[in-house]
Amino acid sequence: MSDTVTTTINAQGIATVTLNRPEKNNAFDDEIIAQLTAAFKQVDSDPQVRAMVLASTGKNFSAGGDLAWMKRMASFSYEQNLQDARGLAEMLKTLNFMSKPTIARIQGAAYGGAVGLACCCDIVVASSDARFCLSEVKIGLIPATIAPYVIAAIGERACRRYCISAEVINAQLALQLGIASEIVAEAELDNCIKNISNNLLSNGPSAMAAAKQLIFALGQQPIGDGVIEKTCEVIAQRRACPEGQEGLTAFLEKRKAEWNQ
């Protein structure tokens, strides 16, 4: 794998996937998208990994699409553009539906598709000087493949403004909208993420995966008998599974669970 996308895993099982193209503000093209997809799949399938951090080097998280890549796309046929878009869509889907908890580390600018990366992560920790922008309409495009994830994160009403205005969203507003989960000084990003990661390490790994799956299953459904029955089935399964049994027993015995030693 090219060093434009790197993956490291520490002793605690926290994987860090890093965009390493600071000279281009970590803009991505079709090759980097393929590398990210492969990295996300590898991390998600690794039983030693407990959570993943998505990070980047340099002063900006990511400028979104690479200009040279976009120039190439301008000469593509419709079918070529469709195939290219499917590659980006696959990367976003892979990140969004990872079974492991995911944390985005955002510093500086996150523009265009980079907003989609943030919205696909479970937790977003942003520096106080971070800025976000759904900038596609500035060049006559639209934030299409990222739209499902951005709408899920900030809602239809906010999207109707920021997808058509391409206004820059500062860190505080990003927190209010739901793009960011937490804002800290840039120097505190790593400490904040370490604290969040340590909290995740104290939780049942398969329980967190099951919780994510339940949220995906129920997120857009009205509360009715079918949804209520689904929640009953899921908690019954968790109570009966080995991890659930161990967690309950450890709690009752006032000891740490086996995954939290």
Q: Are residues 178 and 244 in the same domain?
A: no
**Containing domain of residue 154, as a range?**
5-200
Residue 259 pLDDT class (50, 70, 90 cuts): confident
Q: Are residues 131 and 220 in the same domain?
A: no
Q: Of 183, 200, 217, at which residue does a domain stop? A: 200
Residue 132 contacts residue 166 (beta carbons within 8 Å): no
Residue 1 pLDDT class (50, 70, 90 cuts): very low
Q: Are residues 104 and 187 in the same domain?
A: yes
Q: Are residues 141 and 220 in the same domain?
A: no
Query: How many alpha carbons lie under 13 Å from residue 90 in its C-beta half-sphere?
Result: 16
Q: Are residues 166 and 111 in the same domain?
A: yes
Q: Are residues 216 and 193 in the same domain?
A: no
The tens digit of pLDDT for each residue in 97-147 reads 999 999 999 999 999 999 999 999 999 999 999 999 999 888 888 888 899
**What pLDDT score was predicted for residue 79?**
85
pTM, to two decimals: 0.90
The tens digit of pLDDT for each residue in 6-25 reads 999 999 999 999 999 999 99
Mean pLDDT of the chain: 91
Q: Are residues 153 and 250 in the same domain?
A: no
Q: Are residues 134 and 38 in the same domain?
A: yes
Q: Are residues 115 and 217 in the same domain?
A: no
The tens digit of pLDDT for each residue in 60-103 reads 999 998 888 888 877 888 888 888 888 999 999 999 999 999 99
CATH number for 192? 3.90.226.10
CA-to-CA distance for 43 and 52, rounded, in angstroms? Answer: 8
Asked if pLDDT for residue 2 goes beyond 70, the answer is no
Radius of gyration (C-alpha) of the chain in whole angstroms: 19
Q: Are residues 143 and 160 in the same domain?
A: yes
Residue 34 pLDDT class (50, 70, 90 cuts): very high
CATH number for 229? 1.10.12.10
Mean pLDDT of 185-207: 96
Asked if pLDDT for residue 43 goes beyond 80, the answer is yes
Q: Indicate the number of domains in the chain.
A: 2
**Measuring CA to CA, how many Å separate 147 from each of 100, 119, 140, 180, 181?**
22, 10, 16, 16, 19
